[in-house]
Structure 1
Amino acid sequence: MRWWGGWNVARAAAVAACGRRVMNFHHRLHSTTGIGALSALRPAEEKAQLFSQLSEALFADEAAALSLSLPDISDCVVSVTGAEGEAGEPQLSAEACMEVVLDPQLPLSTSKGNEQLNEEQLQTGSAVCESQSSLPSFSHAVEELSICRDGGDAATALATAVRAFMSSDTSVMNRAASELILAGSDVKALFPDGTLCGIRMEHKCMSQCDFSTLSFLSVYATEVDFSRSLFYGAIFHDCVFVRCCFDGCVLKELRCSGNVRFEECSFRFANIELRLSRADKSTRAKVMFDRGDFDLADFSGSDRLPARCFVGCYNTEIAAKFPPTRV
């Protein structure tokens, strides 16, 4: 009888816990936060047109580089039937809706630890903000692109539009658009001058991109997905990367100068061949890896980095040819 009574008590507790979970789910489902997060996934008509124009320009640029001719959009016949034709918008799956409702995107908040930067980092951040203020808005950049699309300045206008899109405001829609438009692209071919200067990127997806030989000058990136990208011969100068993902990246012949900081970044399975300038070797280290994850990373070919370059990093014991701890 005691066993049977204990089983009933346990069953009642489980039913009560299940009921609480259902009520909590119902409350979160009908909360304004969840509704706002769902509405953020539906782009405005004007913004959708901007995404479409930028995507079309990128396709045209890639086709021109490959000497291919794209078909006219008027020749493409798209048949829309059923609910899609009435709604006029892509329908989200139930799983995607629940994921957004239960895990709404929170606005970026600056932690106290991140606020306590040294004087050099503050100067770098101010330089980034000053450079960013000179960038045109995304809508203005796309308008300029559409105007000079058939002219000789199309490449410059496209580079300006891509820069503006990289530094566009943080939202679920912009991150999804960056994953569809920029992910997997040859970024180095988009910038004729080979530089990415004064850009502040937040919550963007730029995975599987080719940044080879590209110079990052005063770039501030927060929670950007660079996974499985190529950085052959890239240059980082006065850059800050916060909670960025470099998993599976190839950072061969990566050169760092000035003050470069990686804060809470992930380098799982990354191939890191980092080289410092001669001036940085003779003086104090100006490259800082703060709380980085180097799970199964490979440091083959890297310079002998001082131990003070790595602060609070983990999984270094399973990284191949990790820089010596005594230099």
Structure 2
Amino acid sequence: MFLGVFLQNSGQLSALSAHALAELVKATDQFTIRRGETLFRQGMLADALYIIGSGKLEITTRTPGDATAAVSAIGPGEVVGEFALLDDGLRSANVTAMANSKGLRIPRERFLALLADGKPWTLELIDTLRCLVASRTRVTLERIAAEERYDVSSLRVPAQVRETAMVGDAAGLFPALGRLAELGTEGAAKLTDLGTCLTIPRGTLSTEAASERRALTIVLRGALRSVLPRREGREQIMVHGPGEMTGLVGLFDKSQQSLELEAAEDTVALQLPQAMFDAMRRSPEPFALALFAAVGRQLVRDQRRANRHLGRAVSLEQFNQHCRRSAI
């Protein structure tokens, strides 16, 4: 009973309906962990999602130089290990109990089987988890922006504003886009009908930071670069190649874009407006399921990249502090 009640008061799962919460409880196992024990380690197989009922967990990650940095603390009602339901990669952090803790655990394979069976509550949960990852990425990007230490020599000069141009049907490019090929011929055709295909010349500033303009951008050919405006230039945070997507954080939280987007090379991209994106978020249609499975993987990829970038900034600051102490 306790575990079912605390879910109703979970801020991170508050978007779920009462029915979805009840079904989620049925699909979970209970877990307990004692203070000082490790729930999972960085590099392990991501095999389950955990929801904390009581206690406190700490998330840490390795940084360059094999040091360890604390990322955040997780308390009652919060979720950890959500990547397991969105991506098939390995754990990206260590999670250790700071106090005796217990909660609920849903294995990845069990959840994916329920999702494949078309259980409506699974669409609610997976959408909620995507929102959670997007919000955590937003926080990480804000921390990166707040860091005073960054590699000035790697900053890029401002891009030139150039004209983009619409292109014809680009559905034929999807079979070469890795996991997006799962959309199939019909799904790719539907998606291109809903969006706008553009050619973006190299160096074009496609989206400005703090812009209210939100759209899903899928790179079909070429590459787009997400950059953070700095006083001396633009700091590259990540690069998106064919089959990758940009703009997801703003699409999920409806806030301003955190990063500027520019073409790293001549690019062909498909843009899907916010309204179309929202209409498909919980759709059971096969092509929408395939698209949002790719969206989930992209969110995880972006969070991993942002964490690594932040880790490098933290390591640079630690290195500089060590040098200052050594010089005294």
| TM bracket, shorter-chain basis | under 0.3
Larger Rg: 1
Bigger RCO of structures 1 and 2 (CA < 8 A, at least 6 apart): 2
More strand by share: 2
